[in-house]
Structure 1
């Protein structure tokens, strides 16, 4: 245990070093938020992957194959299609001006009201979604503290873990700015990919090669290597029906990588359009293989724990804490922290950016003050799952995806309408109301009909696009 703690302390010191090393170069907005567009596209690609690949991926993707199969790869295929559409269709518009926030692009087309509405919805969805991510990433730290013999309730241990994680992330985000976040992301990506590969190797070693070959055939018999779902269920959940999964994955990716400021920020921080396109499409391919790695871990955990009753969402955390020897336990916990901190630091920076530019708060507050504020706000948002997770029917990963899916569809429609050369048939204020109404409709339909998260994004897109098209038709007639 001492060596595990030493590894974690060393990791935190390295992260602090990055934050303070770049602190002197972050006084101006263009450096604090985009690093003056001086970072090579390869580092931005890895930063993008690290940002979107949070602790939910590290800890919850294995749960999907542990309790099911490899069908989540259908969504990953959709991700690649979606990013390609963004790279070819939306991205050229973002490089045509000098905007720092992509919501400024909407503001230039439709006015301040839609710009601020998009920013506000982005803020709420990020606080809720990334609050869940922060909560998940604190679980292994709490388990580690419990293993050390600290006799405190799990809830208190979790809050202590959240406090430590939030404190470290806020410090290097506030002082280092975007440049520190990107290079720390790259380091963290290397750490958690190494952690995933190490965990896979450890499971294989503990199962044994001969037994593993037999179990692989057994898993195939059980259908746990299944990727594509061609059977439509008339009464059950069709989240992974091949058509819904790939189209839904594409829409989710268009929404996240085409309209979500936190992820788009990494793309527009490069020098030119071609580099941005490389970042988008290349990241989709890297993410596909990451999912494959962690799904393999989940399948082998099913073999390792067959017959034991372990909650799927906690099975990988349980394996890490109970089976990984010291000091490798510290490395794997650091990998979990890396996956969480890369997302959280990016969220802090992007929330600071949108309120500085879209809400013009930079007139009163510095980028660092805004980053500090949103860092603290994220910490409080991470406490929400303590009240929800016991009653939520789906897994924690799907919970996070569902929250974003409610808002992504209407957001995509806004940017596609902005790309269209036609002017709106309504005022910017009414358009903002249409946008919010479309989100409400999507939530009502999703909850009322219990639709899968892969269908929510296309529905939201159709709602807003349909309302604007109807208004255009009525105006002409």
Structure 2
């Protein structure tokens, strides 16, 4: 497939997005940008959130995990499913009752200004790192399989794509994103279904025959029953539930779309509908991953991990399938980036700068500040994408979930201390607790999972062996998995308890 032809389809797709953005951003103001004037259709939000939650990481990384881990990622997906119900019936009622634009305003009302800004700061750090990691993965695929052939440098590719995203989110914000995410989710799911059907037909498999062939290769193994393993099913399910609570329920980007829905009942319908669809879609990604490994083995294709799906879709299938893959991949890229840029802008303007509290600025001045912040975050995205390129990790999904464990843990501790306890904390000390907890957990996790960190940091063999020996003397064979977020949240909760007293 010609790189020029594929690039043409990318440009055409972007022009469609620009058209949608122009139409939806007419007569927009700051309220449109931040919360869509609280007039979003819950069905559109539910459908669009699928694209935001999955992103290019799911599209590329999850199929690649099937080779070494089978369907065990589905353990985490079950946890996600449970977590969405907690978000729908514990957190959403709180946000609607307080009529929040930024969910971190709750921390101000409950604890004070320091806790409020600490929560917002941790969201900003979390979302910047997570969004840029997702963006890097998809941009790198486009670079390797299309733009390298056209001799376009990676930095130019990253700059142009970020400029595209900036262009269509500049005015409309959430009001625009609700519609563009719906369009992009449609294309992404279409690409997933078409690729599954093509591979099954090429292998002459029905669905039942596919599952049988995957079972013979042990790809369908779903339950890890080894308690000491990082992938033990209970750790994965509980960890997945709390990852959802943190990365969805305590995340301004995800909640910004939900609280743009007219009322609580519709917002809850959105969340529950979305959770059922997400389980099905993740199963299809795992099924596709297994089929891709079978296809690669049959055709002598020696790739795996994050490179598996792009290599097959762009080099070993008909041109029409390659075009559908590229459109689907771009559709997976944009929702995770446009929503992140918008949410970060909203959070910084409302929570850090205090845009809504500034009575000395008129609407035009506030808009100018908001646009400046929007562009600034796009520049930060660009610099971090270049950093990820320098690291060049082959399994981005592990990095994203690991980072989430550290950065969303303090948010989890803050919110649940406020919800579950009636105690009053010393607000001025909240930031130190929220910084200390993840640092302690990082030290523990570094010792416990030295093998994982050694791959990222490229440590020498002697250092790895000495730390590994020390780790076994403390933890034995026990490995920390995705429940890392829970440990972090519990430590934050305990720290907040120490600096609290009974409210008079």
- TM-score, normalised with respect to structure 1: 0.91
Bigger shift: residues 438-447 or 448-457: 448-457
Equivalent pair of 1:356/1:367 in contact (CA under 8 Å): yes
Task: Tell me the residue number matched to 2:369.
Answer: 366
Root mean square deviation, CA, Å: 2.2
Task: Tell me the residue number matched to 1:175.
Answer: 171
Count of aligned residue pairs for this structure pair: 460
Bigger shift: residues 122-131 or 17-26: 17-26
1:443 aligns with 2:442: yes
Task: Tell me the residue number matched to 1:469.
Answer: 497
How far residue 311 of structure 1 moved from its aligned partner, in angstroms, is 3.5
Task: Identify which of 256, 260, 265 aligns with 1:274.
Answer: 265
Could you list the structure 1 runs, at least 4 aligned residues long, displaced by more than 4 angstroms after superposition: 212-216
How far residue 472 of structure 1 moved from its aligned partner, in angstroms, is 4.5
Q: Distance in 2 between matches of 1:6 and 1:266?
A: 31
Equivalent pair of 1:259/1:412 in contact (CA under 8 Å): yes
How far residue 23 of structure 1 moved from its aligned partner, in angstroms, is 2.7
1:7-406 correspondence to structure 2 within 5 Å: 7-27=9-29, 29-145=30-146, 149-150=149-150, 152=151, 157-209=153-205, 216-233=211-228, 238-306=229-297, 308-360=301-353, 362=355, 363=358, 365-390=368-393, 395-406=395-406
Distance 1:366 1:23, change over 3 A: farther
Q: Distance in 2 between matches of 1:160 and 1:453?
A: 37
Q: What does the per-residue CA deviation read over 1:368-398, in whole Å, with 9 as the maximum and x for residues that have no partner?
A: 33222212221221112122235x7xx2111
Runs (5+) with no aligned partner, structure 1 = none
Q: What does the per-residue CA deviation read over 1:291-323, in whole Å, with 9 as the maximum and x for residues that have no partner?
A: 111111110111111254313111001112102
Secondary structure class of the residue paired with 2:222: coil
Q: Distance in 2 between matches of 1:215 and 1:51?
A: 29
Q: Distance in 1 between matches of 2:145 and 2:214?
A: 31
Q: Distance in 1 between matches of 2:218 and 2:33?
A: 49
Q: Distance in 1 between matches of 2:157 and 2:195?
A: 22
Secondary structure class of the residue paired with 1:454: coil
Runs (5+) with no aligned partner, structure 2 = 359-365, 450-478
Equivalent pair of 1:4/1:327 in contact (CA under 8 Å): no
Q: Distance in 1 between matches of 2:163 and 2:147?
A: 20
Q: Distance in 2 between matches of 1:228 and 1:388?
A: 32
Q: Distance in 1 between matches of 2:36 and 2:283?
A: 32
How far residue 354 of structure 1 moved from its aligned partner, in angstroms, is 0.6
Q: Distance in 1 between matches of 2:195 and 2:62?
A: 14
Q: Distance in 2 between matches of 1:339 and 1:216?
A: 26
Equivalent pair of 1:80/1:285 in contact (CA under 8 Å): yes
Q: Distance in 2 between matches of 1:123 and 1:15?
A: 26
Q: Distance in 1 between matches of 2:139 and 2:287?
A: 23
Task: Tell me the residue number matched to 1:413.
Answer: 413
Equivalent pair of 1:93/1:419 in contact (CA under 8 Å): no
Distance 1:102 1:386, change over 3 A: same
Distance 1:122 1:280, change over 3 A: same
Distance 1:446 1:279, change over 3 A: farther
How far residue 191 of structure 1 moved from its aligned partner, in angstroms, is 0.2
Bigger shift: residues 198-207 or 179-188: 198-207
Equivalent pair of 2:123/2:408 in contact (CA under 8 Å): no
Q: What does the per-residue CA deviation read over 1:215-264, in whole Å, with 9 as the maximum and x for residues that have no partner?
A: 7534313321111222334xxxx232111011000111111122111111
Equivalent pair of 1:37/1:270 in contact (CA under 8 Å): yes
Bigger shift: residues 307-316 or 283-292: 307-316
Q: Distance in 1 between matches of 2:321 and 2:138?
A: 18
Equivalent pair of 2:345/2:373 in contact (CA under 8 Å): yes
Secondary structure class of the residue paired with 1:39: coil
Equivalent pair of 2:239/2:483 in contact (CA under 8 Å): yes
Equivalent pair of 2:195/2:321 in contact (CA under 8 Å): no
Equivalent pair of 1:191/1:335 in contact (CA under 8 Å): yes
